[in-house]
Amino acid sequence: MPAKLSTGRSLLSLVAVTTSVGGYIADWNHTHVYNPRWPPHAKFHNGQTMSTGLLLGASALYYLHRSTTLSPGSAVRDYLHLVVWLLSLNWIAQLSAVMYPGSLPTDPEFGDGFPQLGICAVLFAIIGLGYFLERRHLTKAGMWHDAKHD
């Protein structure tokens, strides 16, 4: 990836940081981690989910900002695709959680609805926009090549 922090990379970095710390911000309180009504196994999976977000976001930041000696055409393209995939995984998993038996997007004592849907839609839109802008930036800089040209 190029050293300059472009708009696309900035947007993707924003989602990577949100992915890394968002679960801790949302869950490290009385509604989740300190909720006495949560059984230990539920807290186990909540911890697993928070750690997954942290690792995915940190991995995305690493690949988004690392320097490479690989051929620019293949390395830049592959790293950008990997970053988009890593950033999407946590949010895809969050949306899928509603399909598990007995699962609800919110605890009844804290209201109803599916607030994660809006959050995920915004983050997917930012990921898509960041990808589009970064690909355009790399194309203009002569660093994006179709796979058939590598």
Q: What is the SS3 string spanning the chain?
A: CCCCCCHHHHHHHHHHHHHHHHHHHHHCCCCCCCCCCCCHHHHHHHHHHHHHHHHHHHHHHHHHHCCCCCCHHHHHHHHHHHHHHHHHHHHHHHHHHHHCCCCCCCCHHHCCCCHHHHHHHHHHHHHHHHHHHHHHHHHHCCCCCCHHHC
Q: Of 63, 124, 122, which is closest to residue 92 (Cα–Cα)?
A: 124
Residue 130 has a pLDDT of: 98
What average pLDDT does this structure show over 116-127? 97
pLDDT tens digits along 29-47? 999 999 999 888 889 889 9
What average pLDDT does the structure give for the chain? 89
- Weakest-pLDDT range from 28-37, 67-76, 113-122, 124-133: 67-76
Would you list the domain boundaries of the chain? 7-149
Query: Treating both helix axes as pointing N-terminal to C-terminal, what angle do 72-96 and 40-65 enclose, rounded to 10 degrees?
Result: 160
Q: Are 123 and 91 in contact (CB under 8 A)?
A: yes
Residue 57 has a pLDDT of: 96
Given pLDDT bands bounded at 50, 70 and 90, which one contains residue 1?
A: very low
Which residues, 6+ apart, have CB-to-CB distance to 47 below 8 Å? Answer: 33
pTM (2 d.p.): 0.75
Residue 52 has a pLDDT of: 95
- Weakest-pLDDT range from 60-69, 127-136, 140-149: 140-149
